[in-house]
Amino acid sequence: MSGSSRFIADLSALYPALALIGASGLILLVMPFLRRCGGNSGSATISGLGVLAALALLIRLPGEGFGATLFAETLVTDSLSTASAFVLLLSGLLAVLIAQSYLKVREIDEPEYYAILLLSMAGAYLMLLANDLLILFLGLELMSFGFYAMAGFARRDGRSGEAALKYFLTGAFASALFLYGIMLIYGVSASTEFAKIQSAVAHGALHTPMGLAGMILIIAGLGFKVAAVPFHQWAPDVYEGAPTSATAFLAATAKIGAFVGLIRVLDVFAGGSQTLIPMLRVLAIATMIYGNLVAIAQTNVKRMLGYSAVAHAGYLLAAMVCVAMHYEGTAGARTNTAAMSASVFYLLAYALAGFGAFGVLAYLSSRDKDVQTLDDLRGLVQRDAPSGYALILFMLSLAGIPATVGFIGKWQIFYAVLIGGDMTLAVTIALTSAMGAYYYLRVVWYAAFESASGPDAPRQVGLTGAGLTVFVSAFATLLLGIVPGLLTGFLQVVK
């Protein structure tokens, strides 16, 4: 194939990202001029259409190119990238919907929000396809810059600014760690390409101090994005301070991008160092225990969900331990693919429950009242039954109660850990899940069994974007909880 036709063929894998970037550019170019005539619903419409176009382009990606490397080995399209990109774009759609009404209510409805959101998604998309550490870094930064800006988007709210600044400072530090790690790995392998690093690892590159330090720093950099202990402390502050729509978006997107990046990196490092698995295991256990433990003491639901995000990162890290196992015979390979598929499904389950829960908060919020504490949810089932029951459903899904998609996701991870034979992790998952049930069920208690006090908070009437997010998430949470087979096949990661 000639160079230019090769380029064109490779480019098709990036069409979804190009659609997102194109929509973003369109918003930036056109919307400032259109704003004077009427509101800002045009931005939401353009971004929604952009994400839908990206989804359509993703599904139309040719199947035979699976496992193919593109653009001189820097990108790869395989079942992992396609499945996770599907989850990413699906949550992107929910992110647009939730923003559509929430921004309006909070009176921060600017076109830039959508433009940034789409660019951030494009960055996450790049991470999913990365086959080179530098591309992974590029995607990570593009994604993160969006997060920083979106976290501070409620300009008049002091906590929003604080969240953005804290996120930016700690994020910059984490990026430095990550980049430093890339440099060290380059030092031992003379490349940033995964394939070449992998062959260097096979020759013992990770047994040198430099290689070992590089590996730890890269895991730390990605660990920051997923809020793994001890790189997690930004999470509660940012989750609480950021506008609810931005919190929902970054909760889901950061996890999707960073965990798929972590899977790719671990796939490269696996078997190269005997400290890799114990290290990941300790991170996973610490993250599970810490996240669940501290969430118990929270009274602000957004902050509680921030710690819950830490806890869920712990469960996913448990799956990462299994991802790192694949040189240990056929059972190891089975564990490996089972853990990858479980992670992608879990990311979907988490995104649905997260968007649902934040969607309920956004749906209930009004101009004067940003709903985020347990007290705000008192007697919700009596005041507004549909959103009350939906919130209960999302809490059950986050807690991993059967008949919700959260149960299926947690069960898949649990199963992968069991066939991987790691009893310590399995027991920790079980025990910390029980701890988790406490604070999720407390929300259920407040919503269903406490009686409403004070006057009815005014809320949005009619079908709003946030309401639609809640409805879609609830429907999918229940449907996939009962018939997960509708998607498990599609989200299966094969090698």
Partner 1 sequence: MMDGMGHLSSGGLVWAIPCVPLISFVVIMLFGGRILQVLGDAAGRRVIGALATLAVLVPFALSAALVRDLLALPAEARRAIVPLLPFAKTLPWIDAGPIHAQFAALIDPLSALMCLIVTGVGGLIHLYATGYMAHDRDYARFFAYFNLFIVAMLFLVLGESILMMFVGWEGVGLCSYLLISFWYDDTDNAKAGNKAFIVNRIGDVGFVLGILTIVSLFGTVSFHTADGRGFLDLAARKETLHGALGIGSAALIAGLLFIGACGKSAQFPLHIWLPDAMAGPTPVSALIHAATMVTAGVVMLTRMSVIFVQAPAVLLIVALVGLFTAIFAATIALTQTDIKKVLAYSTVSQLGFMFLGCGAGAFAAGMFHVMTHAFFKALLFLGAGSVIHGMAGQQNMRLMGGLRKHMPITFATMVAAWAAICGFPGLSGYWSKDLILGYGAGIHSYGMVIYAVGTFTAFLTGLYMTRLMVMTFGAKERFNTHEVHVHESPPSMWIPLALLAVLSIIGGLIGTPWGHQLQHFLEPVLPTAALHVAHEGVPVGVGLGIGAIVAIAAMAAGLVFYPAEAAKGEAIEPARNPILVGAERLWYVDSAANAIGIRFGGKVATVLWQWVDQGNIDRLVNIVAFVVGLLSEIVRGLQTGYVRIYVTTMLAGVAVLAVWALIGGGVR
Site of interaction with partner 1 (CB under 8 A)? 165-166, 169-170, 173-174, 177, 204, 206-209, 212-213, 216-217, 220, 224, 229-231, 233-234, 236-237, 273-275, 278-279, 290, 293-294, 296-297, 415, 435, 483-486, 488-489
CA-CA-CA-CA torsion sign (427, 263, 120, 467):
negative
Report yes or no: 234 and 102 within 8 Å, Cβ to Cβ: no
CA-CA-CA-CA torsion sign (112, 117, 122, 126):
positive
Residue closer to partner 1 (CB basis): 29 or 296: 296
Long-range contacts of 161-168 (CB under 8 A, 24+ apart): 161/241, 162/237, 162/241, 163/237, 163/238, 163/240, 163/241, 163/242, 164/241, 164/242, 166/234, 166/237, 166/238, 167/234, 167/237, 167/238, 167/242
Smallest gap from residue 59 Cβ to partner 1 (A): 16
Residue closer to partner 1 (CB basis): 68 or 435: 435
Residue closer to partner 1 (CB basis): 67 or 278: 278
Query: SS3 letters for 329-358?
Result: HHHHHHHHHHHHHHHHHHHHHHHHHHHHHH
Residue closer to partner 1 (CB basis): 129 or 401: 401
Peptide bond preceding 230: is omega within 30 degrees of 0, i.e. cis? yes
Smallest gap from residue 275 Cβ to partner 1 (A): 4
Residue closer to partner 1 (CB basis): 216 or 413: 216
Reference 239, options 317, 315, 294, 318; nearest CA is 294
Q: Cα-flanking dihedrals φ and ψ of residue 413, to 5°?
A: -65, -45
Reference 40, options 111, 116, 117, 113; nearest CA is 111
Q: Which two tokens stand for residue 399?
A: 């807690």
Q: Return the amino acid letter for 250.
A: L
Smallest gap from residue 219 Cβ to partner 1 (A): 8
Residue closer to partner 1 (CB basis): 183 or 435: 435
Smallest gap from residue 187 Cβ to partner 1 (A): 15
Smallest gap from residue 375 Cβ to partner 1 (A): 19
Residue closer to partner 1 (CB basis): 75 or 398: 398
Using CB atoms within 10 Å of the CB of residue 37, give its burial: 0 to 12 exposed, 13 to 18 middle, 19+ buried: exposed
DSSP SS3 for 273: coil
Smallest gap from residue 408 Cβ to partner 1 (A): 9
Smallest gap from residue 27 Cβ to partner 1 (A): 32
Report yes or no: 163 and 238 within 8 Å, Cβ to Cβ: yes
CA 207 to chain centre: 32
Report yes or no: 371 and 364 within 8 Å, Cβ to Cβ: yes
Residue closer to partner 1 (CB basis): 125 or 345: 345
* H or E element, residue 77: strand 75-77
Smallest gap from residue 136 Cβ to partner 1 (A): 19
DSSP SS3 for 300: strand
Reference 431, options 289, 320, 308; nearest CA is 289
> CA-to-CA distance for 192 and 202, rounded, in angstroms?
15
Residue closer to partner 1 (CB basis): 146 or 236: 236
Residue closer to partner 1 (CB basis): 108 or 226: 226
Residue closer to partner 1 (CB basis): 128 or 174: 174
Residue closer to partner 1 (CB basis): 16 or 211: 211
Smallest gap from residue 488 Cβ to partner 1 (A): 6
Considering only CA atoms, give the Rg of the chain.
21
Report yes or no: 143 and 257 within 8 Å, Cβ to Cβ: yes
